[in-house]
Amino acid sequence: MEAFFVSIATVGIAEMGDRTQLLSLVLAAHYRQPWPILAGVLVATLANHALAGLVGVWFGVLLRPALLDAVVGASLLGMALWMLKPDAPGAGAAIGRRGAFLATVIAFFIAEIGDKTQIATVALAAGYAHLGPVVAGTTIGMLAANAPVVFLGKAFAERLPLRTIHYGAAAFFGGLGVVFLARALLR
């Protein structure tokens, strides 16, 4: 259960102000169909994070536990630093003129490649070696962060204290990184 809950929190926090959250805002404004957009986010996230999780589990099998904890800890510290650099609007994938669902699946899957949340999924799957709970948790975290944006749109996004959220997320990732590095040193 720890892998599941840490995955929800990690991705939910990492997604705040992220390019895919901005993409959700653009899709919501363009199509004004929240349910197909949210369904597209779900499908794209499941596919993307399942692949990322498989890569993470593969890395986790190859590395000794202490080295794995050190790599995951260093990755999370890197994520903490990355959170201090917010994404700019328009940094996501371009949107085509297809239906809301298909456009969301394609754009979201592409925008998620190399994104903070995908890299976090790789690190979490490597650290916990439980693919199902990690992918389920990262997907729920992604939906939890994007659903308000999709349903409430621009008015909601403009009221968020993104700078504070980014600093809080950086502290969260830094703390997780320190925990994994401490585990590496204690093995």
Model confidence band, residue 94 (pLDDT cutoffs 50, 70, 90): very low
d(C-alpha 31, C-alpha 40), whole Å: 12
Q: Are 177 and 73 in contact (CB under 8 A)?
A: yes
Q: Is 114 left (phi over 0), alpha (psi -120 to 50) or beta?
A: left
pLDDT greater than 90 at residue 47: yes
Give domain limits for the chain.
2-186
Q: Give the relative orientation of helices 116-128 and 34-62 as an angle to the nearest 10 degrees.
A: 40
Q: Can you tell me the mean pLDDT for 118-139?
A: 92
Global pTM value: 0.72
What pLDDT band is residue 86 in, cutting at 50, 70 and 90?
Answer: low
Q: Two tokens at 129?
A: 């070696």
pLDDT tier for residue 14 given thresholds of 50, 70 and 90: confident
Given a cut of 90, is residue 184 above it in pLDDT? no
